[in-house]
Structure 1
Amino acid sequence: MLAQPGGGDPAERHLLPWRSLAVHLSPLIGESGFGALYGRTGRLLAQQYGWLTVSPSSQTLDALFRTLKEDLARAEPAQAALANEALLTTFTRLLSDLIGTALTTRLIDSAWHSAQAQNNAGEQK
């Protein structure tokens, strides 16, 4: 999910996998569950990436993503990419611990294929 096509705002490209995951996970764990999992992820990585804002998990997903985008936009591009990868990896590991590896894999595959279909539709315009 990290391999997004070039062009456009780099910070916004980093959010594409997060938005896709939110669409697929929110019906299962709710927006508050997604926010709680994201918040835990941020707290686990706060020391390694001190410039990332650890947001309260009670925020809306739009607010969480806006904060993440702002944090990633302020970072050096290589650091932003590493932090986003660490966030996604930690988030999916925590999700897997919560709901199991098989379901996590199916959800991520579904989110990935959905994101790819949206990218392909945008490229065909």
Structure 2
Amino acid sequence: MLGRRSKVHPAQVEHIHDLLRQGKSHRDVADLTGLSRSIVGRVARNEIPSLAAFQPATVGEGSMSEKITDAEQARRRREVDEVRHSSAMEGNDRDAQTHADQEAYVRGDLTLDELIERA
């Protein structure tokens, strides 16, 4: 698993981005959504992406035959590294299969749903 689920609903993430594009300040967006300014800032920096906004790793009907972008791979690497660090801080050991699955996700061989399913 890639860490705990976000408390921010995908629709909220889209709403936050819409409000920011309209020129609203982080404080205004926080007041309008009922979320903290910290959360609004993290959403604005794409640190809390909408689950609906995850781009498929490849084009087509779930086919993993085409490569993901370098930016997507870097995002996935950061995500996996954060999860590993968090797990280590909590004293949780990961097995070799989990490590291999995470690496497959970073490469684009697995989607996020497939990775979660394997956890």
- The two structures have a TM-score, normalised by structure 1, of 0.30
Give the structure with the higher percent helix. 1
Structure number with higher relative contact order (C-alpha < 8 Å, ≥ 6 residues apart): 1
- The two structures have a TM-score, normalised by structure 2, of 0.31
Q: Which has the larger radius of gyration?
A: 2
